Amino acid sequence: MATVHPEEQTQIQDPSQWVDLHGDMLLSYALSRINHRDTAEDLVQETFLAAWKQRHDFAHRSRFSTWLVSILRHKIADHFRREGSRQACSFDDSDDWQSHGPQFTKRGKWTSNPKAWSMSPDELVENREFWKIVAICLTDMPAHLAYVFRLRELKSAKTKDICSLLEISSANMSVRLHRARLLLRQCLENKWFDSPS
Amino acid sequence: MNCKHATKLLSEAQERQLSKSETFGLRFHVLICTACRRFNKQLQFLRTLLTQSSPKILAAVYASDASLSPVRRQKIKTLLIQAAKEN
């Protein structure tokens, strides 16, 4: 038996309130994954319109806002699926994903050796400041790389599920994960582990 | 095997089993290369950290003050009102 939050009954039938009640929340969600303002706003717009069309499918099994987020999540996946067919993701030495310069020389050596990190995961797991830096680093990297990384590392998605969601090969997925890990590692080192303060 | 190749294999090892020859070459490289040894440790470090992370922390950290632009806000409202009229 679904719990119906009384105020949601009327809310759902009155879309003029939807944007003021949920628009900013949806935008935050979209921006944290897309980091391109116009695109994020487009997806929020599409979400509201889709929600209106599908409003009879909302069965009150969750809060209305949660249901909206699930629609947005699908829109975001669609976006990256379309992006994926454009991001050829060549496996060679295209450097355009390396905004801070190449990680390796032409001979395959590190351009800058990893430094020693002198903290243990336990010390950091509850550290808010550290997670803010992690969030910044994920936002800094190309969105299509961060997206795959989040699915794999934060949502523990199976590799075959990621591949079918985005319609990419497992080789392509491996390349994206590898690049995301290189970028994240470098960013965390610069902003946290090796940072002067 | 150079570092670029080694790091690629170290990353792939998180998702698949490496072949015998890949493993052999990689083990040897990591044995003699401090930089890649560190990279490998740091990969494990990040994996551990992320699996232990509280979804609440991440959600809190991602929360932003983002606000829909007034133009967009109005546009969506208009579209929704239009859609409501058509039904």
At A99-147, the pLDDT tens digits run 778 999 999 999 999 999 988 888 888 888 888 898 889 888 999 999 9
User: Residue A176's pLDDT is what?
Assistant: 94
- The 10s digit of each residue's pLDDT in B3-38 is 999 999 999 999 999 999 999 999 999 999 999 999
Could you give the dihedral angle defined by the CA atoms of residues A173, A70, A85 and A35, in that order, rounded to the nearest 10 degrees?
-90
More confidently predicted of A191 and A95: A191
Residues A197 and A141 in one domain: yes
CA B19 – CA B23 distance, rounded (Å): 6
Chain B contact for A46, CB < 8 A? Answer: no
A69 shares its domain with A110? no
Q: How far apart are CA A30 and CA A68, in angstroms?
A: 12
- List the domain range (segments joined by +) for residue A75: 6-86
Residue A115's pLDDT is 94
Both tokens of residue A190? 């610069």
Tens digits of per-residue pLDDT, A23-40? 999 999 999 888 889 999
CA angle A165, A170, A172 (to 5 degrees): 90
Tell me the CATH number at A25: 1.10.1740
Domain boundary among A86, A101, A136: A86
Out of A19, A104, A121, whose CB is closest to B48?
Answer: A121
Instruction: For residue A1, tell me if it sits in a domain.
Output: no
Q: Could you give the ipTM of this predicted complex? A: 0.88
| Average pLDDT, rounded, for chain B | 90
Of A40, A56, A86, the domain-final residue: A86
Between CA A20 and CA A24 the distance in angstroms is: 8
Residue to mutate among B1, B7, B22, B78, with most A CBs inside 10 A, is: B7
Please indicate, yes or no, if residue A131 is contained in any of the structural domains. Answer: yes
Task: Give the predicted TM-score (pTM) of the model.
Answer: 0.86
- The H or E element that residue A43 is part of is helix A37-53
